[in-house]
Amino acid sequence: MAEVDLHLHTTISDGRLTPEQLVHLVARRGLRVVAVSDHDITDGLEAAWNAAEEYPQLTILPGVELSTDIPGNEIHVLGYCINYRAADFQAALKRFRDSRVGRAQGMVERLRALGMPVDWERVQQIAGEGAIGRPHIARAMLERGYISRLSEAFDNYIGRNGVAYVEREKQSPEEAIQLIIKAGGVPVLAHPAHLNNISETIDELKAAGLEGMEVFYAEYSHTMIEHLKGIALQNDLLPCGGSDYHANDTPREPIPGDNGPPLWVADRVMEIALERGGVLR
């Protein structure tokens, strides 16, 4: 069991537990430091902190996960301890979320053309108030019986190479890193195992200001984690990580606390943020 989990989602983006439910779960699991890292939105933080008041041993760091593109692949960048109240940072998140809506509509349109109509209203209902994403479309497809598992939606239809896939508005990882740094946050490369030229990519992102990379990613094998640990050490990057929990309740879904970085990593993240104008709350 880990004491730290720096990668968690809630109903505010594509997770299935509310911030409150997530906080009760991580507290029950004995976690000491966690980050709520929803996609393109920070609106779940307040509720999470309120729920955490009954758990004085638990620290919740502000986080966010930004989606970016490189040729032929997608890179997610996590940002921790951002001064999320900064108006220009929130304006950027709002832009990303607005572009998610048009993109999701585009995918729903393509599915209709492929003979798999899902109601746009239903997708919006599943997504709720926060950031809409492909998992919400996948759940609507599941309800309609077009697929039997969430991952099938990604494998066959709305994954990067799927027939109903629509690209997002392009953003480079360097831009995302800059945005996070400008708001006082600590940028960390999410789940890097899918990258083809990991060393090259890390060189570039490190030059742009990257401070860490996910190593203790709960879904990764022991061998992969050891491999990534070596890369982080070599590049002087903080070995971060967590469960990337969405509460999908799929068979092998990692649970918060299954794996995560040691406490010193979370301490260092907080230290770096405080040196550059970030916030812990």
What per-residue string of b and e applies to 7-24 under the rule 16 or more CB within 10 Å gives b? bbbbbbbbbbbbbbbbbb
Scan residues 35-74 and list those touching ligand AMP (CB under 6 A).
39, 67
Scan residues 9-38 and list those touching ligand AMP (CB under 6 A).
14
C-alpha distance from residue 151 to each of 103, 158, 162, 202 (Å)? 19, 10, 12, 28
The residue (of 74 and 204) whose beta carbon lies closer to ligand AMP is 74
CB 234 within 8 Å of CB 213: no
CB 27 within 8 Å of CB 5: no
Near ligand AMP by CB under 6 A, which window of 89-97, 133-141, 198-206, 251-259?
Answer: 133-141
Per-residue x/- marks for Fe ion, 106-145, CB under 5 A? ----------------------------------------
Count residues near ligand AMP (CB under 6 A): 10
List all residues 6 or more positions away from 142 whose beta carbon is below 8 Å from its beta carbon. 148, 149, 150, 153
- Alpha-carbon Rg for the chain, nearest whole angstrom, is 18
The amino acid occupying position 153 is A
Scan residues 151-190 and list those touching ligand AMP (CB under 6 A).
151, 154
Per-residue x/- marks for Zn ion, 50-79, CB under 5 A? ---------------x--------------
The residue (of 127 and 279) whose beta carbon lies closer to ligand AMP is 127
Q: Which residues bind ligand AMP (CB under 6 A)?
A: 14, 39, 67, 133-135, 150-151, 154, 246
